[in-house]
A and B are shown apart, each in its own frame.
Chain A
Amino acid sequence: MNKLEKGIEKVYQAVLRDYLEMKREVSLRQAYEIGRQAVLEDVGLLRIVTVHHQLLAGLNDGRKTAEILSAGDFLRETLSSFEMIHRGYKEMVGALKQRTNELDETNRKLSELNETLETKVAEKSAAAEKKSQELVRVNHELEQFVHAAAHDLKEPLRTITSYVQLLQRSYQSVKDDEAQEYVHYVVEGTHRLQELIDDLLSYTRLNDRSQPHQLVEMPKVFREALSSLETVIKETGAQVTADGLPSVTANRAHMSLLLQNLISNALKFHGKDPPKIHVSARRDAGQWVFSVSDNGIGIDRKYFDKLFVVFQRLNTRDEYPGTGMGLALCRKIIEQLNGKIWLESEVGKGTVFYFAIPF
């Protein structure tokens, strides 16, 4: 019996004596209180009842036995449900405590997992960033390589072209039709090669972002384009007009190239009627939408996707000359401005090219 139990037992003895002196009601209530306290202190109801019966055994007073017994029964009965509730409560608290510990453990594990995840994500991000930077670098190297290669090709090509033409001259008087024809094809081949290389260089030069954007007056650019294409316009008897052209913030040289290419195409792909070309622009929700329309041969819808692909041609070289790069160039220029280029066309009914430049 520990100190606590001894203390309670002593108090209970005193109460019992009291009860025996006929102070019944009060003593019983006190006994109840002691019992309740014992339960709360974990001494236990059973112990009190045992103490009760032990004390009883020490008393040889027969006439008080029944009353003393019933006091014990009273204790047992009234306190037992109390004890059950108390025990239940303790169990519940115990269970809650355990659940809380489990939860804390789960939280801790989650926290660890989270940290691991964050580390992994950071690693993956860093790897992706590195890869992205490498791609940009490789792309830049490729652009420079193409530019250098195209540039280096010009020199030997110049020699070939010049000497073949020299040969052509020297053997002009020779009466060999076959040889003349062969030489003619070689000369033509060299011209095409030069055109291709020039176009390729133009395309790669678009990568040069060192030129700052400035306010470009499109009406001026249009007039300059007309001036460059003067000969063709005269030869084809073309009518080229424009209206509503604004100023845009862009690279001036690129805008010049863009308009020239589109108008040049319109002039080139005409039908039997002289070309009628109109360039115009309108505002539309944060962007300028330009249009270049013509009354030419038109383009079949199924070829629309192929149009803007580098070196892709839709006609044979005998029908219409060209390297097939003009529109690829136009698209690259527009895309660098975050704009879009598209067209509407019907075979035999003409074409309208649209390009949009955001403000």
Chain B
Amino acid sequence: MTLPTLEEYRPMKVLLVEDNVPDVVLIKEAFKESKRIIQMTVARDGQEAIDCLKGGGHFKAPLLPDLVLLDLNIPKKSGFEVLSEIKNDSVLHDVPVIVLSNSSLDTDIQRAYDSHANFYIIKPPDLEHLFTAMRYVEKIWLGGSLK
């Protein structure tokens, strides 16, 4: 039997960039049952997101998360601007960014992938779909497993 490494147990750091409070609560709820411990930081707008990732504003030190969940529709800096900044940054560009959006328009989806988003999720219409989506996110990017 191989001993599990520490890596498999460390908490996963997730930056959620979302200004809509009900959505923040829902996503936190979705990760409550995750196998891994999720440390979730929430940024309420684009500027806060950049400050958090690069250090600035009221963030003393930059955060290098394991995953960024990015809502496109946020105030101050737009979701696309934040996405660009992350993917053009020498340190941050390897961080997976999953874009969350209400839009199902091909143009928006194409633009997100052209800007090097790792994935595009259309905000699920109900709880079950959201939970399933987050379970997949866990499995693929957060080293979790599908229950």
Contacts and interface: CB of A to CB of B under 8 A. Distances in A.
* Real binding pair: yes
Interface of A: 154-155, 157-159, 161-163, 165-166, 169, 190-191, 194
A166 B29 contact: yes
Nearest to B22: A159
Given A154-B102, A155-B102, A163 B22 contact: yes
Nearest to A154: B102
Contacts of A194: 125-126
Contacts of A157: 125
A275 to B, nearest CB: 29
A158 B128 contact: no
A269 to B, nearest CB: 26
Interface residues of B, number: 12
Contact of A165 (B23, B123, B128): B128
Contacts of B128: 165
A165 B23 CA distance: 14
A161 B127 contact: yes
B29 to A, nearest CB: 7
A158 B129 CA distance: 11
Tell me the dominant secondary structure on chain B's binding face. Answer: helix
B123 A158 contact: yes
A326 B142 CA distance: 41
B26 interface: yes
A162 B126 contact: yes
Interface string B7-28: 0000000000000001100100
Given A154-B102, A155-B102, A161 B125 contact: yes
B95 interface: no
A302 to B, nearest CB: 37
Contact of A161 (B23, B29, B102, B126): B126
Given A158-B123, A158-B126, A161-B125, A166 B26 contact: yes
Contacts of A163: 22, 26
A-B pairs, 9 with minimum CB distance: A165-B127, A161-B126, A162-B127, A159-B22, A158-B125, A162-B26, A162-B126, A194-B125, A155-B102
Interface in B98-147: 102, 123-128, 130
A21 to B, nearest CB: 125
B18 to A, nearest CB: 13
A27 to B, nearest CB: 117
